DNA sequence: TCAAAAGTGTTGTGTGTACACCCATGT
DNA sequence: ACATGGGTGTACACACAACACTTTTGA
């Protein structure tokens, strides 16, 4: 049985959260997956997530699950969509609220835990078979991410505090799967007045060092009023 | 108690759906509200909605609740957001999945039912005190509606099958709370190639009759590739 | 003939797009 | 001196924004 009734007569349901965590590593957009230890889909890869507890908010549950499987805390999770079909889960009815987030690879540490034997990053372009309807959730998250990239500064979360414009452009190109014009990209980004050039330079080997910039806004910024960024 | 545990050990929660139904009547953007018959918030106005049943999908529950309180079926509901704070509902924990939709006033019939003694339309600019956090849900729905208007044809749902360009412009103006330039609006709409002029005219009294148009696409259309409609 | 809304074009301005070369550094 | 990525400006096309008058009808 998937649903029960309580004393006040309301049907009750198990609620899960699932998190699509993106990063860029080695020039590739990747998603964090964990290997399932329990049936159903035992041994299959799945999104990190789990069941919402009795007294926690759904947002908190998503954060908690992510923290249990990674060392990342203090992350900005954005709610994606709620999937409420009765037959998503073979065990019975589980409604899932999905989230997505972006993390910078450098600041990131994996940490194995409890039910999770393995966690690993997979390129979004070559995902393994996923448990449940998680493939659909990843696809939806990617679509949303690409959209948001166009009118917010969400993509900056993939970068360290100080970054070069080439690194920023690289992040956009990897997410959009599309090459962008260097001059137009730099002009547009600098015109937004959300970047501050530092006096430091990144020495990258045997080339000219690149100026490091910082993001001056405290939070992700909506850009619609300042001008939409796409399509370069 | 708000949550219980079932045999498989999962915490379970009551799930509600709430629907923000918009229409335009007498040149005003309005929202459908129902008067609560039961505590909590007995006598207060609230969004139409209710508890998701054991075997129905969340989307279906939203449609069902709307049909129980109106005569409208076959409507396009769009999922808005899931509110999962533990203390939204004084009875205990209820997670709500919110939806919004637009209907054409003419095609609409109200129908009183069951727990609902009254249902009525209220201007979004002058809402009464709402039960729970429903005011916040309405605000969020309106924000989303205004955004979507800019890159989809969602606004067409407010109009009958055949409509004049002036009526279409009026719908946009009412939702955006902003006057638009007649010539620019008409040019942009016609350039999108989603309208077909009929050979009929609407006689509006003692003025020149206006040509009636139909929307040629079967569904709501995303316009991003064809060009964003805002800000006129 | 008058009132009231329908309908129609042009011009200036800003933004997106395409495109090629010199610069600074390490080896 | 050469290889590598960093960094810069201009010209064209197109879309948006502002703006006023004529047309058609009913009363």
* Residue B171 in tokens: 């719908």
Tell me what pLDDT residue B13 has: 97
Q: How far apart are the first and last CA of chain A?
A: 52
Average pLDDT, chain A: 89
Tell me what pLDDT residue B232 has: 35
Tell me what pLDDT residue A182 has: 96
Tell me the residue ranges of DSSP E strands in chain B.
Answer: 4-5, 11-25, 28-35, 45-46, 49-51, 78-83, 94-102, 119-123, 162-163, 195-202, 210-215
What CATH number should be reported for the domain whose range is B14-148?
A: 3.90.79.10
Tell me what pLDDT residue B1 has: 40
Residue B224: CB less than 7 A from any atom in strand D = no
* Residue B181 in tokens: 């330039």
Residue A205: CB less than 7 A from any atom in strand C = yes
Does residue A114 surpass a pLDDT of 90? no
Tell me what pLDDT residue A7 has: 46
Classified by CATH at the fold level, domain A154-226 comes out as Arc Repressor Mutant, subunit A (1.10.10)
- Residues carrying CATH 1.10.10.10, chain A: 154-226
Percent of chain A clearing pLDDT 90 (strictly above) = 73
Q: What is the pTM of this model?
A: 0.92
Q: Which residues of chain B are under the pLDDT cut of 70?
A: 1-8, 109-117, 224-232
Q: Give which of A63, A64, A78, A82 to mutate to test B binding, by max B Cβ within 10 Å.
A: A82
- Residues carrying CATH 3.90.79.10, chain A: 14-148
Q: Provide the shortest C-alpha distance from residue A100 to chain B (in Å).
A: 14
| Chain A contact for B1 (CB, 8 A cutoff) | yes
Angle at the Cα of A57 from the Cα atoms of A54 and A59, rounded to 5 degrees:
135
Helix/strand/coil for B68: helix
**Cβ of A55 and B84 within 8 Å?**
no
Residues 6+ away with beta carbon under 8 Å from A95 = A13, A14, A15, A16, A82, A83, A84, A88, B15, B58
Q: Give which of A54, A62, A97, A149 to mutate to test B binding, by max B Cβ within 10 Å.
A: A54
Residue predicted with more confidence, A182 or A108: A182
Give yes or no for a contact between A166 and A211, defined as CB atoms under 8 angstroms apart. no
A197-226 pLDDT per residue, tens: 999 999 988 899 999 999 998 788 887 554
Q: Provide the shortest C-alpha distance from residue A145 to chain B (in Å).
A: 15
CA A148 to chain centre: 12
């Amino acid at each position: 049985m998937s649903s029960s009734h309580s004393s006040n007569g309301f049907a009750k349901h198990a609620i899960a959260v699932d998190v699509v965590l993106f990063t860029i590593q080695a020039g590739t957009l990747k998603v964090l997956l964990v290997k399932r230890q329990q049936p159903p889909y035992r041994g299959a890869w799945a999104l990190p997530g789990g069941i919402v507890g009795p007294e926690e908010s759904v947002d908190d549950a998503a954060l908690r699950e992510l923290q249990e499987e990674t060392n990342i805390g203090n992350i900005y999770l954005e709610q994606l969509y709620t999937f409420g079909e009765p037959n998503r889960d073979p065990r019975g009815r589980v409604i899932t609220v999905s989230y997505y987030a972006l993390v910078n690879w450098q600041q990131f540490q994996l940490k194995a835990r409890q039910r999770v034997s393995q966690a690993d990053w997979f390129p979004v372009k070559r995902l393994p078979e996923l448990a449940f309807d998680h493939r659909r959730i990843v696809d939806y998250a990617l679509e949303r991410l690409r959209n948001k990239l166009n009118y917010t500064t969400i993509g900056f979360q993939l970068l360290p505090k100080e970054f070069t414009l080439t690194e920023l452009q690289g992040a956009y190109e990897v997410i959009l799967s599309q090459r962008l014009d260097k001059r137009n990209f730099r002009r547009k980004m600098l015109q937004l007045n959300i970047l501050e050039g530092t006096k430091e330079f990144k020495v990258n080997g045997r080339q000219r060092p690149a100026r490091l910039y910082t993001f001056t806004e405290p939070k992700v910024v909506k850009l619609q009023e300042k001008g939409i960024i796409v399509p370069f």
